[in-house]
Chain A
Amino acid sequence: MNKIKNYFSELSVLLKLNVREYGMFIALAVIMLIFSYYSGGLFVSPRNLSNLLNQTGYIAVLAVGMTLVIIIRHIDLSVGYVAGFVGAVAAIMMVQYGVPVGIVIVAVLLLGTLIGLWHGFLVAFMGLPAFVSTLAGMLIFRGALLQVTQGTGTIIIPNEFFNAISNGYIPDIVKVPGVHVLTLVLGLAGVGFFIYSEFKTRKNKLKYNFKVISMSMLLTKLVFVSSIILLITYILATYNGISWTVVIMLVTVGIYQFITNKTVIGRHIYAVGGNPEAAELSGISVKKITLLVFASMGFLSAVSGILFASRLRSATVTAGVLFELDAIAAAYVGGVSAKGGIGKVTGSIIGAIVMASLSSGMNLIGMDISIQYIVRGLVLIVAVVFDVRTRNKK
């Protein structure tokens, strides 16, 4: 009896301490439950979940880049139109000039990076506030998008490889009707890796006499997270399996997570965000870091542009509209501090899924688009207020 009591008291302490981190998951769970209820289970149907993740893709990669931009105390408003413009350039290269798709992808990724460098240059070396330079960028690339699509209007992309990026699924290893085996295998592998890394971290912490959570708490966490991963992979496996979009999303997060957590560059980024003067005096070039972060944002805008054009199988005049706001919202919902210096790319991905679930759910239950905007705005406010409140407490 006492043991159970201890267990729950530790659980509640843990939840309270990490309310910011777990709050996001709780919010996601609540949103999913509400919409499942009101849509009669349609929301958690394999088809809808699969679609939901595919729709999250092009915002999620932007949110990853935006996380770093906000960490170093800046903002990038241009990313939506840059994504739209880059998508249009890709379409034109393929359709009008017949450039091979591989070259097209490399070229537009480069183009996006250059655009990011340009914004970074204005911010770091010309001293423009990021708000202004990227607001100008927003106008410029909106104009550029209109310019290149002026003659043709919507450009249909006939290239199958390109369109598969956002519409295709990973192939299966064996044919079993009704289930995607490779997806299940990957899900299991993911769970295995998660459990392994948790134990490894714990072992390391114990080695240095750091505080660790009790074994029963760790097991609770492992069971909880593993079952969520398994549930999602199972649902996806009964549909078409994991899509290429999800693969790209996971790879992007993986790389950025590694860079921000394990490398010198990542540490420098957090240092610049945490205290630019102290960073500069520690021998870090704030200008170079700024340039780099904006370049990465440009690169990811291009990735987003490719994903979106591929998803629509075409480049349209309105591609990229309001992406920047979704990405910024995702980052804030995902726990990036508005004051800079704090935030995780993994959080922003969850933030992106929260925002996408909200849109998707509201669409599903037939809510009017006008109300949808208002709800999304309110959710953003609630998320940031929650963030500020829980941080000030400490």
Chain B
Amino acid sequence: MSNILEMRNITKDFPGVRALDDVSFLVKEGEIHCLVGENGAGKSTLMKILSGVYRKGEYQGDIVLSGEVMNFHGIRDSERMGIGIIHQELALIPELSVYENMYLGHEIKRGSFIDWNETITQSVEFLRKVNLAVEPEEKVKNLGVGKQQLVEIAKALSKDLKLLILDEPTAALNEEESDNLLKLLTELKSHGVTSIMISHKLKEVISIADTVTVLRDGKTICSLSKEKNEINTQVIIKNMVGREISDVFPKRPIKEAGSVALEVKNLNAFNRELGRDIIKDASFRVKKGEVVGIAGLMGAGRTELALSLFGNPLQYVVSGEILIEGKKVSLSSPKSAIEAGLAYVTEDRKGNGLILIQDIKQNITLANLREISKNSIIDANQEINVANEYKQSINIKTPSVEQKVQNLSGGNQQKVSLSKWLFTLPKILILDEPTRGIDVGAKFEIYTIINTLVDEGLSIILISSELPEVMGMSDRIYVMNQGRIAGEVEAKTATAEQIMELATD
């Protein structure tokens, strides 16, 4: 078989981070090729380059499609060459019908007008190809996620597709839907369509893949082939994890953990918008002076768990019991959560963590203005003093606390976010991906701060996608998988393979 696609020496830099480092990626014509790796390994970035999201020049290296070097300037260019990508978040318009969605952007025209009859006739044909039995006039919003995904695939097929890319297609599907999808991919393969599938579900990967490529830390680690009988769970996991946990993590003195600070019993959360449970029957406890890690893959429900605890600002339907220092609490808003002693450093600093257009001192004091005001009037001097104290103790690198947060580096922004929540004097601090997108030096500083805090008796919940980080920093680790807590391990004795197995199906 010849190669339909060859990506040669691809390197892509983001500010401060090298996302892809000299990656090469080979796909043979007519195969199903699975791309696996931990979160942040560079899978999605690689696919974005392939589908033209990043233009030539924003990365180094070559894309060679059927022997020709490509020069994509946008998704339209890659679509024209027969590449179709189906993202995790579906890109359909709910209020439009199935056929309108399928031909959106490449309408069938007669003269300057859309030929709707022809559109419907053709859409029926492609819907049959993906085994989807719905009327083309049906509105997309009335279909379940599984069927919507098939509509997306039918849409891709209608564009004269040669190479189909699926980014975690089964993440939101139930078992039956997943099986159907996998069957469809095999069927398409027999019709000559080549597929690239990103997946965390290794069972699926093993059942369907002709070739598996493993990415780790922006590098190609290996390519395993079914023909040579190289594909099995152990090998894949070993290559996904495969790194030594060196002493990038500062040691902290081993201490006997104290009394239980936080206990969560049978927490359930239902997301009305998605129409499904996002947290299922989660129970766990965090002791005083302890770092509890929460591991899991993207979409396992870790951030949702944190939000459900922290006053449930997104209005999930939450049930279950939360006890802080043995007392049952009702946390109906972030305000009540803060008052109960919780603090939450969010995953997305820029999105919902900081107010970028405001300065450092305003951000640090925002969640606890009461502390620096008298009769509701803010004491400006005290505010500056507080900000300066944190500037020193947390080592925020800035000439002045009047600097706007948007002008700071990622690491310093994270330190501001941390200061803000420490200023609320919490008992339990939830850190959601605290080192994402920041450089190694700042990472180490944040780890050191974590150690100091637990030494002072604070309890920390550390949510992280980076396995070495969770394993290096935590005392105990809970592993989440599809909204459930799939298992608990001791950080000292656990292996990365063990955690990966709990996190994948």
List the interface of chain A (C-beta within 8 A of B): 204, 208-211, 262-265, 267-268, 270-271, 274-275, 277-285, 341-342
Contacts and interface: CB of A to CB of B under 8 A. Distances in A.
A157 to B, nearest CB: 38
Contacts of B313: 277, 280-281
B357 A263 contact: no
A263 B369 CA distance: 9
A13 B377 CA distance: 34
Nearest to B337: A283
Interface in B336-375: 337-339, 344, 346, 351-358, 362, 366-367, 369-370, 373
B96 interface: no
Given A210-B400, A211-B400, A282 B366 contact: yes
Contacts of B338: 282-283
A99 to B, nearest CB: 34
A211 B333 CA distance: 40
Interface string B381-422: 100100010000000000010100000000000000000100
A274 B334 contact: no
Nearest to A339: B357
Interface of B: 310, 313, 333-335, 337-339, 344, 346, 351-358, 362, 366-367, 369-370, 373, 376-378, 380-381, 384, 388, 400, 402, 420
Contacts of A263: 373, 376-378
A262 B377 contact: yes
A282 B367 contact: yes
Contact of A285 (B335, B352, B381, B388): B335
Contacts of B334: 280-283
Nearest to B370: A264
B358 A270 contact: yes
Contacts of B310: 281
A274 B335 contact: no
A158 to B, nearest CB: 42
Contact of B352 (A264, A270, A277): A277
B377 A274 contact: no
A275 B384 contact: no
17 contacts: A211-B400, A263-B378, A264-B377, A265-B376, A267-B366, A268-B369, A270-B355, A274-B358, A275-B352, A275-B355, A275-B356, A277-B352, A278-B355, A281-B310, A282-B338, A283-B337, A341-B358
Contacts of A342: 357
Contacts of A279: 355, 366
A196 B333 CA distance: 44
Nearest to A201: B380
A267 B354 contact: no
A267 B356 CA distance: 14
A64 to B, nearest CB: 20
A280 B353 CA distance: 10
A76 B407 CA distance: 33
A342 B402 CA distance: 16
Contacts of A277: 313, 351-352
Contact of A274 (B355, B370, B388): B355
B378 A262 contact: yes
Given A208-B384, A283-B334, 15 more contacts: A264-B369, A271-B366, A274-B355, A278-B353, A278-B355, A278-B366, A279-B366, A280-B313, A281-B310, A281-B313, A281-B353, A283-B338, A341-B355, A341-B357, A341-B358
B367 A204 contact: no
A267 B362 contact: yes
A262 B420 CA distance: 19
B400 A285 contact: no
A274 B357 CA distance: 7
A11 B346 CA distance: 42
Contacts of B333: 283, 285
Nearest to A283: B335
Nearest to A341: B357
Nearest to B385: A208
B354 A275 contact: yes
Contacts of A275: 352, 354-356
A264 B371 CA distance: 11
A262 B356 CA distance: 20
Contacts of A267: 362, 366, 369, 378
A316 to B, nearest CB: 41
A281 B376 contact: no
Nearest to A337: B357
A246 B80 CA distance: 66
Nearest to A267: B369
Contacts of B362: 267, 270-271
A21 B354 CA distance: 25
Contacts of A278: 346, 352-355, 366
Contacts of B373: 263-264
A264 B368 CA distance: 10
A324 to B, nearest CB: 26
- The 9 A-B residue pairs with the shortest CB-CB distance, nearest first, are A277-B352, A283-B335, A274-B355, A282-B367, A275-B355, A283-B338, A264-B369, A282-B366, A264-B376
B370 to A, nearest CB: 7
A280 B307 CA distance: 12
Contact of B356 (A208, A270, A274): A274
Contacts of B344: 281
B332 to A, nearest CB: 11
A53 B371 CA distance: 41
A274 B352 CA distance: 10
A142 B349 CA distance: 45
A209 B338 CA distance: 33
Contacts of B356: 274-275
A264 B381 CA distance: 15
Contacts of B335: 283-285
Nearest to B345: A281
A230 B105 CA distance: 64
Nearest to B375: A263
A81 B479 CA distance: 59
A18 to B, nearest CB: 15
Contacts of A270: 355, 358, 362
Contact of B388 (A208, A271, A280, A283): A208
A84 B335 CA distance: 40
Nearest to B348: A277
A19 B357 CA distance: 18
A209 B357 CA distance: 22
A281 B380 CA distance: 23
Contacts of B358: 270-271, 274, 341
Tell me which of B337, B339, B353 has the highest count of chain A C-beta atoms within 10 A of its own C-beta. Answer: B353
Contacts of B384: 208
A204 B357 contact: no
Given A275-B355, A278-B355, A281-B334, A210 B377 contact: no
A127 B400 CA distance: 40
A211 B402 CA distance: 10
B474 to A, nearest CB: 24
Contacts of B366: 267, 271, 278-279, 282, 284
A211 B399 CA distance: 10
Tell me which of B335, B366, B370, B388 has the highest count of chain A C-beta atoms within 10 A of its own C-beta. Answer: B366
